[in-house]
Amino acid sequence: MPLLAYIDPGSGSMLLQVILAGVLAVPFFFRRVIGDGLRRIRGDRDAAKPADGGEDATPDR
Amino acid sequence: MDPASFRDPSGFVFRRDGILYRQIQQPAAADWEAFGSSGLYERLVADRLIVEHSDAGLELAAGPDAAAVIRPRMVEFISYPYEWCFSQLKGAAQLTLEVQSRALDAGMRLRDASAYNVQFEAGRPILIDSLSFEVADVTEPWPAYRQFCEHFLAPLALMAHRDVRCGLMLRDFIDGIPLDFVARLLPGRTRLNLGLSAHIHLHAGAQRRAASEPAPADGAARAKRRISETGQRALLDSLQRTVSGLRYEPSSHWADYSHATSYSDAGTASKGRLVREMLAAVGGSTAWDVGANVGVYSAMAADAGYRVIAWDLDAASVEEHWRRVRGDRNPAILPLVLDLASPSPALGWGLEERASFLGRGEPDVMLALALVHHLAIGNNVPLPGVARLFARMAPRAIVEFVPKEDPMTRRLLAARRDIFDRYSIEGFRDAFDGPFRIVREAPVEDSPRTLFLLERR
């Protein structure tokens, strides 16, 4: 942990992330690989980028 | 030094001659340098995700151990999460996750995910804390995950799944709503929502278990906490999906209220004309429209060249108003939630961390249209009390008096005894001609109502 971490990350919150990361990584990986593959087939130039969620994501992209 | 700056030893915000500066402290120098050289700052500024700053020179430092002093561009009005409608809080959450995602791309991450680091400007959220970045160890879980869930996800889930008024709970929990509390308040069906089940319900359980365990030796605890980079991205993706999936559709008595006024077409036209004339007579640049509803008169002020804060107590009206103005080409209106009968107080440590409604500057003019009868009759505030509060809010005021014979006032009095002997136009003049000088009094055509232009004495 960096020297200046000033908020309490919470040990339960850190541990939960370890578990969730393990569980979520598998579907995420496949969605990204398959999604990217499909987009590459369709010839999308942005194929390397991970899929973005939410139709109303605020920042302009 | 800004009284809200004490939490983070990396730096602080201060003012000198009215100008805002941020000092970065020596121990944070390496992260600050990495942020500068990563190109992340330029990319965030280019997409208007963070406020710009300029280097100010170390001679302006306000204390010892300065590594750098910057001058951030000031946001015009500071609002707080408990004053935001659902979509504003959701937008701020999405901005935070987007910035975190881009930071990861640059080998960095957000050190914190506080809702107070976001402000609204020109119809969109923007990060105001330039000092929120640190070099990331990508195999370490995100230290700000808990704060993100408590500041953003928890209130959003309550607003979407329980009641939109739960947003006001952020006033009591200024460092985020505790997850065990949120888990108890959310309907049971939210356990079937994958994201909420993980980031709220399981999260609350994990916190509870961790709290009852003995403190582990530091090294052992750290060794356990490793995740893959894909896992890191998957977590962020899951948070983004969970936030995007939360929805709220406004429908309320008040949002329908503007379509059901007591005005005839001629009355509406006359009132609009008078408001425009009075706004022009004031000739200012900032206006607060109090009791703005969905913003008919806020739009008039914006058309007249004012930048407007549009306050309303009803979260649904503010939501509707925000959705309408955020897409404008040149958004000059910021709708916010506020109950004038009990406005945002000063909050936090020493009551200084978050400024009160009256402690954040004043506009050139305030509008209180179709509002006074709600305060005087709906909330029993005597007219002199209304006049005194308005005089603390703005140097000029455009105020509509709605007499007892008006159908809207009659509706307020329908189920109660009329104890308001002093509620009359004479009583209004007596009450306001004191704190204010009456500059103009103009009856609205085809209506029993009267508009006043007032100037503070």
A-B C-beta contacts closer than 8 Å: 150
Query: Across the interface, do A58 and B203 touch by the CB < 8 Å criterion?
Result: no
Query: Across the interface, do B208 and A7 touch by the CB < 8 Å criterion?
Result: no
Q: Judge whether A7 lies within some domain.
A: no
**Residue keyed to tokens 């004031």:** B282
Q: Judge whether A44 lies within some domain.
A: yes
Write out pLDDT tens, residues B278-336: 999 999 999 999 999 999 999 999 999 999 999 999 999 999 999 999 988 889 999 99
Of B112, B145, B210, the CB nearest to A17: B145
Go through A7-32 and write b for each residue having 16 or more CB atoms within 10 A of its CB, e for each that does not: bebbbbbbbbbbebbeebbeebeeeb
Q: How confident is the model at residue A49 (pLDDT cuts 50, 70, 90)?
A: very low
CA B405 to chain centre: 37
Task: Check residue A34 and give its pLDDT.
Answer: 82
Answer for the pair B233, B273: CB distance below 8 angstroms, yes or no. no
Beta bridge partners, B267, equal none
Per the structure, the count of domains in chain A is 1
Q: Judge whether A31 lies within some domain.
A: yes
d(CA B109, CA B106) in angstroms, rounded, equals 8
DSSP assigned state of A61: -
Task: Check residue B37 and give its pLDDT.
Answer: 95
Helix (H) or strand (E) holding B11: strand B11-16
Answer for the pair A50, B233: CB distance below 8 angstroms, yes or no. yes
Residue A11: which of B233, B153, B199, B141 has the closest Cα?
A: B141
Task: Check residue B192 and give its pLDDT.
Answer: 97
Write out the DSSP string of A2-59: -TT--S---HHHHHHHHHHHHHHHHHHHHHHHHHHHHHHHHT-TTTTSPPPP-TT-SS
Q: How far is A45 from chain B (nearest CA, A)?
A: 19
Beta bridge partners, B450, equal B401, B443
Q: What are phi and psi of B54, to 5 degrees?
A: -120, 155
Answer for the pair B288, B367: CB distance below 8 angstroms, yes or no. yes
Residues 27-86 on B with a CB inside 8 Å of A are 27-28, 31, 47-49
To test the contact with chain A by mutation, choose from B238, B326, B329 the residue with the greatest count of A C-beta atoms within 10 A, namely B238
Instruction: Please indicate if any CB of chain A lies within 8 Å of the CB of B240.
Output: yes
Instruction: Please indicate if any CB of chain A lies within 8 Å of the CB of B334.
Output: no
Residue in chain B nearest A12 by alpha carbon: B207
Given a cut of 60, whether residue A3 has pLDDT beyond it is no
d(CA B266, CA B445) in angstroms, rounded, equals 7
Q: How far is B88 from chain A (nearest CA, A)?
A: 10
This prediction's pTM: 0.93
The helix/strand/coil state of B129 is coil
Q: How far is B329 from chain A (nearest CA, A)?
A: 14
Task: Check residue B335 and give its pLDDT.
Answer: 97
Answer for the pair A7, B111: CB distance below 8 angstroms, yes or no. yes
Residue in chain B nearest A19 by alpha carbon: B227
Task: Check residue A45 and give its pLDDT.
Answer: 56
Of A21, A50, A53, the CB nearest to B228: A21
Residues 1-30 on A with a CB inside 8 Å of B are 1-18, 20-22, 24-25, 27-29
Query: Across the interface, do A28 and B234 touch by the CB < 8 Å criterion?
Result: yes
Of B94, B111, B135, the CB nearest to A5: B111
Q: Judge whether A2 lies within some domain.
A: no
Range of the domain at A42: 15-49
Helix (H) or strand (E) holding B396: strand B396-401
Asked whether the ipTM of the predicted complex exceeds the cut of 0.85, the reply is yes
> What value does the mean pLDDT take over residues A38-50?
64
d(CA B320, CA B132) in angstroms, rounded, equals 32
Instruction: Please indicate if any CB of chain A lies within 8 Å of the CB of B447.
Output: no
Total residue count of chain B as it appears in this document: 457
Residues 81-120 on B with a CB inside 8 Å of A are 90-91, 94-95, 98, 111-112
d(CA A60, CA A42) in angstroms, rounded, equals 24
d(CA B232, CA B219) in angstroms, rounded, equals 21
d(CA B410, CA A4) in angstroms, rounded, equals 61
Helix axes A11-42, B229-244, angle to 10 degrees: 90
Q: Judge whether A45 lies within some domain.
A: yes
Q: Judge whether A57 lies within some domain.
A: no
Task: Check residue A26 and give its pLDDT.
Answer: 92
Q: Judge whether A30 lies within some domain.
A: yes
Task: Check residue A57 and give its pLDDT.
Answer: 41
Q: How far is A3 from chain B (nearest CA, A)?
A: 8
Q: Judge whether A43 lies within some domain.
A: yes
Instruction: Report residues of chain B scoring pLDDT below 50.
Output: none
To test the contact with chain A by mutation, choose from B5, B47, B86, B94 the residue with the greatest count of A C-beta atoms within 10 A, namely B94
Task: Check residue B72 and give its pLDDT.
Answer: 97
The helix/strand/coil state of B123 is coil
